[in-house]
């Protein structure tokens, strides 16, 4: 297969695209290198030319040569050199059509096969491009003395070469009409009609061509200076621009490039005496003036003219940064145009200050944290400061990407949840595409390697940093090299980490010579410390919320909860908590559950779509509280959407672990919050025995699971105001419990009341026609004596009595207000949330 390379690459500018393909010059040598052929045969194949192409499939075609040979060839449409591609695109957008056509003819070399892309090597492409530009400079230098050596210049030539004309052309955009005489007018004929025999006209043409080339490539130069990854390309372009500027006698341009890259002084040191016609535009100088004096007092000549063109792609990077600075520093807007001369798109949303307006512009231009990392530090610092100022209290009508950009993923989650309820779509893929460019500030979870420091040495060490380095406490990913740069001598972050660490034994202060009574004192202190230690996962979950992302090839690591203590007065001897005197099984189990929730909340909600195989990969062989908490955390971040209903049923059937079932039910309901998913709704109602048909065998379900199922129903139907669901939950608040544990009865009533509030969240009294009777029932649960619809109340009470009372605790016909009041109050508060409604309930 032969690779065909174009003489000039296709430019995505919407302008005329001229392209010529030829076989590689070494084609004949490569095919017949192993055969002894006479000179006539070699000459025949060395002059092979393409006559036609056919049967195109993607990037391959059949090529028919002049000697009848047919080849299957691959077409390479674009240069492999990004710098060459950028230069060609910039010249297509910045040059007039006549100049660009001539530039194309120069690159083609009058159909010479030895063209720009004669070799696929990146360096050779740039060398070919630079050679053609330098050749044009040489041709201009050869014509110019000829013109000056002839008779005295005409008035027209004097005007064309004057400084006034250069300034006039800079101020007045030329569209289609050239500055050349009418004999060189902008007819529809191709460029060769421009070339006449008059040397003065040739000189004027080449002067204008090289000046526009200098302006265009200089705009690209300023654009590349704002990308820290294009430093090498910037040096190559500076050398070429020095050559062009020196041929035009622009000493200020040469000095500008030599200051950035001093090695160019070796070749262009003799231009100091040349006359400078104008000062080169400089974006860094414009940024500095804007920061000192504001956008209104800055010099607009420092912005390259190419950046002010509409819908240009060659220097769009620099245009975006200039527009952000313009909005941030007080530029006026007229639609998409700014007073600084550039245009900028702004996303929908309110902006109370210039910082918020700049954030909306960054969202509309798809400029996120990944792009900020590519800017020079001094340039990006201003934009990062604007993001930080908007983080604390952003407007409530921003789009979700704006919240992610300022680091408020929590508000973005709420925004996408409300949008999903309005549109009815439950697909979360859009979140991923929005947020991926903004998540580079997060650090991946890494599996801890085996520590070189033994545990005994760690416990005996007084060095806090050594302890942090050797113990996985769930917060180590926050403390990186950049943390030290941000906080420096500020040790508050280290103090928070020390206070929230549960993976190390706590220090117990005792005397040096302990007695028998001291052991009881130590156990009492350990018990008090254990209650504090088990509460630490709550704080750690908030401290590390959405600060990392997972690697799908690694398992998630959970920090340990150690209830033991150490005695500094006795060489850090370890003391374990005596579990025989106290029952701490449930005490430690729920701590492990919350530890799993905290570990799961570390994962960012807006990362790439989590695989269901990774969730199953983290599933332990034996069910435990930690994994149950992890399922709930996955649900809070909507990661459980990737699980199928078969996976959920497998969890329920194979685990047979109540807490794992609880975490799964709440996690699935939270992941599908507000969607009223029918399959999940059936799963949740299955765990509410009062909704079983009378013919169904009685199932013994713990009250804890029933409470979780009721709460899950409220989350699944959140904001829907589903009438039947609300009626069911209203009855569940006052349902007679089958258990004898009073705390479980109160907890079930609170769960039912909270679920009822979620279903009619913020709907107020405008939700249903039966709302008055509905509210009467809630006030009855609270203890209010105001009853307006006796018929409805009697019917509801009778329905509640039919639910049965299988426990040993007997309930009378009256409502137990002590049990129902908390849930009813919560329901009323959520239903009338942000509503200004007054009604006496006492």
Give the pLDDT band of residue 23 (cuts 50, 70, 90): low
Nearest to 89 by CA among 176, 9, 193: 9
Task: Give the CA dihedral 500, 502, 508, 514, nearest 10 degrees.
Answer: 180
Overall average pLDDT of the 474-480 stretch: 85
pLDDT in tens, 639-658: 888 888 988 888 888 767 88
In angstroms, rounded to a whole number, what is the distance separating the alpha carbons of residues 513 and 299?
A: 79
Q: Mark out the alpha helices in 768-813 (DSSP H runs).
A: 771-782, 790-801
pLDDT in tens, 745-781: 888 999 999 999 999 988 877 665 556 678 888 888 9
CA dist list (Å): 426 to 408, 638, 643, 671 = 21, 11, 14, 10
Q: What average pLDDT is seen over the chain?
A: 75
Q: 514: which 2 tokens?
A: 């302990």
CA distance 371 to 556: 29
Q: Is the pTM value of this prediction over 0.85? A: no
Task: Kindly compute the dihedral angle of the four CA atoms of residues 194, 199, 204, 209, in this order, to the nearest 10 degrees.
Answer: 60
Cα distances (angstroms) measured from residue 27 to each of 45, 47, 53, 520, 813: 9, 10, 17, 93, 100
List, for residues 44-61, the tens digit of each pLDDT value: 555 677 788 888 887 788
Q: Distance between CA 103 and CA 114 in Å, rounded?
A: 16
pLDDT number for residue 180:
39
* Of residues 173, 171, 166, 165, the one with CA closest to residue 309: 173
Highest average pLDDT, of 166-175, 219-228, 452-461, 526-535, comes from: 219-228
Burial pattern 663-700, b for ≥16 Cβ within 10 A else e, equals bbbbbbbbbbbbbebeebbebbbbbbbbeeeeeeeeee
What is the per-residue pLDDT across 101-115, written as a single tens digit (0 to 9) for each?
Answer: 877 777 755 444 444
**Contact call for residues 221 and 241 (beta carbons, < 8 A):** yes
Which among 596, 608, 682 has a CA at the least distance from the CA of 636? 596
Over residues 343-354, mean pLDDT: 90
Q: Can you tell me the distance from the alpha carbon of 248 to that of 723, in angstroms, rounded to the nearest whole number?
A: 81
Q: What are the C-alpha distances in Å from 592 to residues 333, 502, 585?
A: 55, 11, 11
Of 106, 92, 110, give the one whose Cα is nearest residue 135: 106
> Is the pLDDT reported for residue 88 higher than 80?
yes
pLDDT tens profile 509-545: 776 666 666 777 888 888 888 889 999 999 999 999 8
Is the pLDDT assigned to residue 455 strictly greater than 70? Answer: no
Which of 3-7, 496-500, 702-706 is predicted with the least confidence, judged by mean pLDDT? 3-7
Specify whether the backbone of 823 is left (phi greater than 0), alpha (psi in -120 to 50) or beta. Answer: alpha
- Evaluate whether 665 touches 652 at the Cβ level (below 8 Å): no
Instruction: Round to whole Å and give the CA distance between 138 and 634.
Output: 67
* Residue corresponding to tokens 């209903």: 645
| Percent of the residues in the chain that have a pLDDT greater than 70, as a whole number | 70
Tokens 């960012």 appear where?
A: 604
Given a cut of 80, whether residue 807 has pLDDT beyond it is no
Task: Return d(Cα 223, Cα 214) in angstroms, integer.
Answer: 14
Identify which of 215, 243, 178, 206 has the alpha carbon closest to the alpha carbon of residue 94: 215
The single residue listed with the structure tokens 């199953």 is 616
Say whether pLDDT at 824 is over 70. Answer: yes
Residues 6 or more apart in contact with residue 238 via CB below 8 angstroms? 221, 257, 260, 261, 264
Look up tokens 């040469």; give the residue.
254
| Of 163 and 740, more confident | 163
Residue-wise pLDDT for 550-607, tens only, equals: 777 778 889 999 888 888 877 888 888 877 766 666 678 889 999 999 999 998 876 5
User: Which H or E run contains 55?
Assistant: strand 50-57
pLDDT in tens, 265-319: 656 544 444 444 678 999 999 999 999 888 888 888 889 989 888 777 889 999 9
Least confident of 471-485, 623-637, 731-745, 746-760: 731-745
């Amino acid at each position: 297969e032969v690779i065909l390379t174009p003489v000039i690459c296709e430019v995505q500018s919407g302008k005329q695209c001229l392209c010529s393909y030829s076989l590689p010059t070494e084609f004949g040598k490569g095919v017949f290198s192993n055969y002894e052929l006479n000179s006539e045969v070699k000459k025949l194949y060395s002059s092979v030319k393409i006559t036609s192409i056919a049967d195109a499939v993607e990037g391959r075609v059949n090529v028919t040569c002049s000697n009848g040979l047919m080849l299957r060839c691959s077409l390479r449409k674009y240069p492999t050199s990004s710098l060459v591609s950028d230069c060609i695109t910039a010249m297509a957008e910045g040059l007039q059509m006549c100049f660009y056509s001539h530039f194309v003819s120069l690159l083609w070399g009058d159909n010479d096969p030895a063209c720009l892309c004669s070799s696929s090597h990146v360096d050779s492409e740039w060398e070919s491009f630079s050679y053609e530009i330098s050749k044009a400079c040489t041709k201009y230098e050869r014509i110019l003395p000829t013109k000056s050596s002839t008779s005295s210049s005409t008035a027209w030539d004097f005007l064309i070469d004057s400084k006034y004309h250069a300034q006039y052309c800079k101020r007045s955009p030329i569209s289609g009409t050239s500055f050349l005489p009418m004999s060189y007018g902008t007819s529809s004929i191709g460029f060769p009609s421009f070339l006449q025999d008059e040397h003065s006209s040739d000189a004027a043409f080449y002067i204008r061509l090289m000046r526009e080339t200098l302006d265009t490539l200089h705009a690209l130069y300023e654009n590349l200076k704002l990308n820290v990854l294009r430093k090498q390309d910037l040096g190559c372009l500076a050398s070429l621009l020095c050559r062009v500027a020196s041929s035009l006698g622009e000493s200020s341009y040469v000095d500008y490039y030599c200051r950035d890259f001093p090695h160019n002084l070796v070749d262009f040191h003799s231009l100091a005496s040349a006359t400078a016609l104008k000062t080169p535009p400089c974006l860094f100088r414009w940024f500095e003036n804007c920061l000192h004096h504001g956008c209104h007092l800055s010099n607009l000549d420092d912005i390259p003219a190419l950046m002010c063109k509409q819908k240009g792609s060659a220097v769009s990077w620099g245009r975006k940064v200039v527009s952000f600075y313009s909005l941030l520093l007080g530029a006026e807007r007229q639609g998409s145009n700014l007073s600084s001369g550039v245009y900028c798109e702004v996303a929908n949303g309110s902006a109370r200050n210039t910082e918020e307006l700049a954030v909306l512009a960054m969202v509309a231009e798809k400029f996120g944290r990944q792009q900020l990392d590519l800017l020079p530090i001094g340039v990006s610092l201003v934009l990062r400061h604007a993001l930080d100022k908007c983080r604390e209290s952003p407007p409530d009508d921003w789009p979700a990407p704006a919240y992610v950009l300022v680091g408020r993923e929590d508000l973005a989650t709420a925004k996408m949840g409300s949008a999903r309820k309005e549109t009815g779509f439950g697909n979360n893929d859009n979140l991923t595409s929005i947020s991926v460019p903004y998540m580079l500030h997060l650090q991946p979870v890494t599996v801890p390697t085996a520590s070189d420091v033994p545990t005994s040495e760690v416990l005996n060490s007084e060095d806090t940093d050594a302890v942090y380095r050797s113990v996985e406490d769930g917060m180590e990913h926050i403390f990186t090299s950049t943390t030290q740069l941000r906080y420096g001598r500020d040790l508050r972050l280290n103090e928070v980490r020390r206070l929230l660490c549960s993976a190390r034994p706590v220090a117990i202060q005792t005397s040096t010579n302990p007695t028998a009574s001291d052991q009881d004192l130590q156990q009492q202190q350990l018990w008090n410390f254990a209650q504090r230690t088990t509460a630490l996962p709550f704080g750690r979950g908030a401290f590390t919320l959405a600060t990392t992302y997972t690697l799908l090839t690694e398992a998630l690591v959970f920090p340990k909860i150690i209830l033991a203590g150490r005695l500094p007065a006795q060489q850090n001897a370890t003391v374990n908590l005596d579990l025989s005197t106290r029952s701490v099984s449930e005490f430690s189990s729920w701590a492990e559950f919350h530890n799993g929730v905290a570990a799961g909340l570390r994962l960012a909600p807006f990362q790439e779509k989590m695989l269901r195989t990774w969730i199953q990969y983290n599933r332990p062989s034996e069910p435990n509280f930690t994994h149950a908490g992890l399922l709930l955390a996955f649900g809070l971040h909507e990661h459980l959407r990737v699980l199928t209903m078969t996976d959920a049923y497998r969890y329920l059937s194979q685990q047979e672990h109540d807490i794992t079932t609880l975490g799964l039910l709440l996690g699935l309901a939270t992941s599908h919050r507000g969607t009223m998913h029918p399959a999940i709704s059936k799963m949740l109602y299955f765990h509410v025995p009062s909704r079983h048909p009378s013919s169904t065998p009685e199932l013994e379900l713990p009250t804890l699971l029933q409470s979780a199922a009721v709460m899950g129903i409220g989350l699944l139907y959140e904001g829907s105001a589903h009438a039947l669901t609300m009626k069911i939950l209203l009855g569940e608040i006052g349902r007679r419990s089958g258990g004898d544990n009073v705390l479980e009865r109160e907890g079930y009533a609170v769960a039912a009341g909270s679920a009822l509030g979620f279903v009619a969240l913020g709907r107020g009294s405008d939700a249903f026609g039966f709302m008055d009777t509905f509210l009467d029932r809630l006030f009855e649960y609270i203890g209010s004596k105001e009853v307006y619809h006796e018929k409805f109340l009697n019917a509801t009470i009778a329905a509640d009595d039919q639910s049965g009372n299988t426990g040993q605790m007997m309930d009378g016909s009256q409502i137990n207000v002590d049990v129902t009041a908390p849930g009813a109050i919560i329901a009323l508060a959520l239903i009338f949330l942000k509503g200004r409604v007054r009604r006496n309930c006492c």
